[in-house]
Structure 1
């Protein structure tokens, strides 16, 4: 309803659902900025609605957020690339000899970059159905209303999406293979073996370094290979998992984090490297203590 006052009950009711709505939108769109926009649009629609006609506010809002998110996905307005560079304050880092919660489907209260990458491979309706049903337990009937499909058709859609996600999951063996590719890169970088570097780098690899003097991006295997010693020098640390990606963390003698690297590996080649050596950005992260 228009002209709401902050003390209106509808405001409090909406705020009670805000975190969940933001979670739905983020998991569908893969962008915090897009998710905030969707939640704001949902509020605007609610403010124009006769709330007396809404029996279940949570369900109504979830439906609205789902429809808006689907529109954004279909229109291509979303930013599907989920880059570690854009989420430096939100990284989850676990040392590789420590327990790492890597069940990408069982999201709990968080979502990893690896799962978002998998979801990007789904069609918009598949992605929405999977997120709403398997992550937020929204009934198929309600999802079907959003998609304009029958309950049975929605069940089939969710099942197909779930199979795609499960097939795309990185099993432990593949995780070891990704780590081996990273180790091969670091060894070749440390020894200055240019040809070996090119073998493990994707031709369009992107290398981003966050330094105290700014952020620098290098594109292309040849260019990245020539700068690989930067990564090798920063990588003399402990193997870690960074938002589901193989990485390396190192500390100074006093225990202060010195650097963090994360590698994206696909089909046996490194497609992206992110290095953080800026103390200010490292300080924003919840990093593990030295071992």
Structure 2
């Protein structure tokens, strides 16, 4: 930031809110690039506003960012697919042996790729209401003003959105059963059991791989099973919980992270896999130390 801006109290106040504003816009829009655009527009509007007329800067900025994000959604300009943004989903990772706090498996705290995908299925006003209230704890009254609705209508909107998200994200089987499916998949991959891999994969499974050469998406059980046969070494990793879902971390002998895998299991089959093997992106994830 230029020297002139650092001594500007309005700029300093805005910078103190920037991270939160960016986080709100990203969770609403699903795109880092769009989130940055929204935050920049909020700054431009603030710079044109008489700051003396703003009683609560944080609330004012949240309102502005919320309304701009809603306009972007309604105009269809957002890029909700994280894969198109070539950004790494946010991961909360714990080794399977460690206790997993209950809130890690609640929807409000699972703000990675799976949640963004589900939010994309909501109407724009439902998505904004859910993100503001359930993820960022913005009171219904403030959310209502942003949406231009009554507080009661906003409560109903948020409740409806929450139910839709919970239904979409509800595991079809318990965590133990899901992990058994993942372990069976890794064992089949390590043993080159192609037919067994096909049994464990949903026909429309999606594999998103973050590699040193870029991000690649593979669709379909046959294609994913073919790739999995060459990645059997992941079976030697340590079981982990990634955003409340089964995963695996593997390290080199020197303790350097080699790969992180995260799985979504529905009705006894794997429907989605996220694999991170890019050292630069692994370094950005707060991974636990090797067991």
- Range class of TM-score, shorter chain: 0.7 to 0.9
- For the residue of structure 2 that corresponds to 1:94, the secondary structure is strand
Higher alpha-carbon deviation: 223-232 or 135-144: 135-144
- For the residue of structure 2 that corresponds to 1:161, the secondary structure is helix
Deviations 1:133-183 (A, max 9, x none): 233333323322222222221121122223333444546953333323322
Once the two structures are superposed, the pairs formed by residues 13-32 of structure 1 within 5 Å of their partners are 13-32=13-32
Equivalent residue number for residue 68 of structure 1: 68
Q: For the residues of structure 2 that align with 1:159 and 1:89, how far apart are their CA atoms?
A: 26
Distance change (3 Å), C-alpha of 1:91 and 1:144: closer
Shift of 1:240: 1.0
Q: For the residues of structure 2 that align with 1:84 and 1:259, how far apart are their CA atoms?
A: 21
- For the residue of structure 2 that corresponds to 1:190, the secondary structure is helix
Shift of 1:210: 4.4
Q: For the residues of structure 2 that align with 1:65 and 1:282, how far apart are their CA atoms?
A: 30
TM-score by length of 2: 0.83
Structure 1 unmatched ranges of 5 or more: none
Q: For the residues of structure 2 that align with 1:208 and 1:143, how far apart are their CA atoms?
A: 34
Distance change (3 Å), C-alpha of 1:211 and 1:112: closer
Shift of 1:125: 0.9
Equivalent residue number for residue 285 of structure 2: 285
Shift of 1:98: 0.9
Equivalent residue number for residue 115 of structure 2: 115
Shift of 1:64: 0.7
Equivalent residue number for residue 54 of structure 1: 54
Equivalent residue number for residue 174 of structure 1: 174
Equivalent residue number for residue 44 of structure 2: 44
RMSD, matched Cα: 2.9
Once the two structures are superposed, the pairs formed by residues 90-105 of structure 1 within 5 Å of their partners are 90-101=90-101, 102-105=104-107
Distance change (3 Å), C-alpha of 1:231 and 1:170: farther
Once the two structures are superposed, the pairs formed by residues 201-240 of structure 1 within 5 Å of their partners are 201-212=201-212, 216-240=216-240
Shift of 1:288: 1.6
**Residue correspondences, number:** 285
Q: Is residue 124 from structure 1 mapped to residue 124 from structure 2 by the alignment? A: yes
Q: Is residue 249 from structure 1 mapped to residue 252 from structure 2 by the alignment? A: no
Equivalent residue number for residue 269 of structure 1: 269
- For the residue of structure 1 that corresponds to 2:79, the secondary structure is coil
Equivalent residue number for residue 77 of structure 2: 77
